[in-house]
Amino acid sequence: MKAQPTPAIEPWRFALEAIEAGEPATLVTVVEHSGSVPGVTGTFVVVTGHGQSGTIGGGEAERSMVERARCCHSAELVEFVHSETEGGTLCSGVQLFSVLPLTRSQRKEIGEIIATVEDLDTGSLSISSEGLAFRAGHPERMSFERNGDRWRFTQPVGLADTLTIVGGGHVALALSRIMATLPFRIVVLDNRPDLPTMADNRSAHELKVVDFDRVAEEVPEGDCSWVVVMTFGHRHDREVVEGLLGHRVRYLGLMGSAAKVKRMFADMVRDGADPAAVARVRAPIGVPIGSHTPEEIAVSVAAELIAIRNGVKP
């Protein structure tokens, strides 16, 4: 099953349609930022004479760069300083934009970007003073280099991060819908073959029915792997968490009440689990917003994942 592709693919489709129709198109990308700005490094917009797709944060900066893109004929870097007196904004930072006209000669690269995202694969995009290049395969870390008039910005393309949701109930369904708007590949695992919320899930990229004692076989290891456990019972939660304690993942979290978590973790340590490994499990998951409904709980969990991914302590 395939979910709807990430929204980041739409600007590339917009660009390809424009250049195939012979219409000028320009790619504007935030290659550096500092301070409080509306669009951070890596955000981008494709601009044509009749419209745009994507965003670099909105406001005066985006308006100004869209106008500039429509009269740009060669690659350039443009700095935009935000202040209360400059640009009509209350932001107080700096954005550095690359402005790159797109041509029919880049149809192959843009087509490969679209195919990579559609196939849930990854790759690396380079935007430079010399043009645009794309390499399918392992994504490179985001970076920007400048030497005189020459510059290069590189960023990963595709869904490099995988979120595995163990337990396909109502919260998993709501969480899948939210996380589908973010650059995560979403996999939902459950041991119930006829679960209605699994059948209703059109946001996850993959749905699998597996025994809970085999979950570790389905979870990739590494810094791009995130796991949330939200099965339908205390016994299953413990089985899954214990099976993943030795797994190297970026995030392992458990949904449940504080009392349930405390009791479960104490029982696990008493029965021989490594206390340090148990302490690394985030539980109960979610930022404290007083959530009760599946949708509210999903918002709180998504907020925690985003905060950790952005290097912020939730």
Q: Using an 8 Å Cβ cutoff, are 28 and 69 in contact?
A: yes
Task: State which H helix or E strand residue 101 sits in.
Answer: strand 94-102
Residues forming a β-bridge with 127: 132, 153
Between 28 and 93, the higher pLDDT residue:
28
- 67 and 146 share a domain? yes
Which CATH number does the domain housing residue 178 bear? 3.40.50.720
How far apart (Å, rounded) are the C-alpha atoms in residues 95 and 288?
A: 32
Question: Which of 158, 174, 197 is the C-terminal boundary of a domain?
Answer: 158
Residues forming a β-bridge with 236: none
- 197 and 144 share a domain? no
Question: Which of 125, 158, 191 is the C-terminal boundary of a domain?
Answer: 158
pLDDT surpasses 50 at 5: no
- 181 and 150 share a domain? no
- 51 and 166 share a domain? no
How far apart (Å, rounded) are the C-alpha atoms in residues 66 and 84?
A: 21
Domain span at residue 221 reads 161-309
250-286 pLDDT, tens digit per residue, is 999 999 999 999 999 999 999 999 999 999 999 999 9
Residues 6+ apart with CB under 8 A from 245: 273, 274, 277, 278, 281
212-257 pLDDT, tens digit per residue, is 999 999 999 999 999 999 999 999 999 999 999 999 999 999 999 9
pLDDT at 91: 64
User: Sign of the C-alpha dihedral, residues 48, 51, 56, 61?
Assistant: positive
Work out how many domains the chain is built from and give that number: 2
Question: Which of 130, 158, 186 is the C-terminal boundary of a domain?
Answer: 158
Is residue 2 domain-resident?
no
- 46 and 118 share a domain? yes
Whether the predicted model's global pTM rises above the 0.75 cut: yes
Is residue 12 domain-resident?
yes
3-state SS, residue 222: strand
pLDDT average, residue stretch 292-302? 97
- 13 and 154 share a domain? yes
